[in-house]
Amino acid sequence: MPYQKSDGPTIVVALGGNALGNTPEEQAELVKETARNIIDLAETGANVVVTHGNGPQVGMINDAFALASSQLGSKVPAMPFPECGAMSQGYIGYQLSQALLNELKARDIMRSTANIVTQTVVDAADPAFEKPTKPVGPFMTEEEARAQAEKKGWTVKEDSGRGWRRVVPSPLPRRIVEFDAVRDLSDAGYVVVCAGGGGVPVVEENGAYRGVAAVIDKDRSAAMLAAEFQADMLIILTAVEKVCINFGTPQQEALSVMTPEQAKAYIVEGQFAPGSMLPKIEACLSFVERCPTGKALVTSLECAAAGLRGETGTVITAR
């Protein structure tokens, strides 16, 4: 029986790291809860398109191949970074779309899922290639990180007060290559998982695509995807229920709503940490600027359905 697109709103959901965990076993468990929260949205009648991060996973895959290759030589080839990105999309997308499908079946909802390994076009001249900023792989102590940097030529940085990590370039997304396929599947009623890890970054040369070693910010790709869809809503799910000002201080104040102008003023004040909340707010701004009738919501996974009902989370909207 063909699946049916619902008459409800189109929602693009971006999943943060806490929705996925760090090991295959942890991830398989966590995505069950993640799937319940996403299918809660679909059950309200929304057409849901899901994207997810891949920083820890793409680093893990890249490290594993580098180690195996150094120990086993030509039996295990060194794996290029774009291929590692594609593997992370397959690995996460497999577990996530399976959990979503199981949840749809458990609720007798006549819809299915599709996971698309997605490429995202970036600009070869993007200055981000000269200045790595995107954390990948596990957290390390400063000492471990500096030793790895010395040994492997990595760039390492402190990540938002949480420890040290390897960082790789993070160019801006320009276009999602498989967008038409994603839209067709969504129009046919599938819950689509796509643009994982922001999409495998590719550059276009003489009419052909070529993968490049980088990791795109998934919130930025989610915003672009939502704008291309002319979605009603972009939902960014992370570890906090609401965006705050004076975050982490005794004066901390949770925000329920921001206009784009207020959000820009808070950015100038430095209220959102670079590398964590700032790219999310910038992604929300870019979505509402391209879709003035759309709403961007930042909240936690557990609060997704309540956020959709307008009961919690931080909404950024020009309306």
Ligand X SMILES: NC(=O)OP(=O)(O)O
Q: Least distance to ligand X from the beta carbon of 56, Å? A: 6
Task: Tell me if 112 contacts ligand ADP by CB under 6 A.
Answer: no
Q: Could you say which of 165, 166, 218, 295 contacts ligand X (CB under 6 A)?
A: 218
Site for ligand X in 9-68 (CB under 6 A): 16-17, 53-55
Residue 191 lies near ligand X (rule: CB under 6 A): no
Which amino acid is located at 43 in the chain?
A: E
Residue 280 annotated among the catalytic residues of the structure:
yes
Q: Which of 134, 197, 295, 313 is catalytic?
A: 134
Question: Quick one: which of 240, 288, 303, 304 contacts ligand ADP (CB under 6 A)?
Answer: 240
Partner in contact with 54, chosen from ligand ADP, ligand X, none, beta carbon below 5 to 8 Å by kind: ligand X
- Whole-angstrom CA distances from 258 to 162, 220, 222, 267, 295 are 27, 19, 19, 12, 11
For the chain, the residue count is 319
Is residue 164 a contact residue for ligand ADP (CB under 6 A)? no
Q: Is 85 in the site for ligand X (CB under 6 A)?
A: no
272 binds ligand ADP (CB under 6 A): yes
Is 55 known to be catalytic? no
Q: Which is nearer to ligand ADP, 22 or 155 (CB)?
A: 22
SS3 state at 217: coil
**Best CA proximity match to 295, nearest among 279, 282, 308, 304:** 308
Active site residue 17: yes
Cα 154–chain centre separation:
23
Helix (H) or strand (E) holding 257: strand 257-258
Question: Does the footprint of ligand X cover residue 240 (CB under 6 A)?
Answer: no
Tokens of 307: 């956020």
56 lines the binding site for ligand ADP (CB under 6 A): no
How buried is residue 295: exposed, middle or buried, by Cβ count under 10 Å (0-12/13-18/19+)?
buried
Say how far apart CA 223 and CA 69 lie, in whole Å.
37
Instruction: Report how far apart the first and last C-alpha atoms of the chain are (Å, whole number).
Output: 39
Does the annotation count 134 as an active-site position?
yes
Q: If binding is defined by CB under 6 A, does position 217 make contact with ligand X? A: yes
Is 137 an interacting residue with respect to ligand ADP (CB under 6 A)? Answer: no
Angle, helix 81-106 to helix 24-43, in steps of 10 degrees = 50
Structure tokens belonging to residue 216: 């795109």
Chain residues that interact with ligand ADP, rule: CB under 6 A: 16-18, 53, 238-240, 243-244, 247, 271-273, 276-277
Residues binding ligand X (CB under 6 A): 16-17, 53-55, 197-198, 215-218
Residue numbers annotated as active site: 17-18, 134, 218, 280
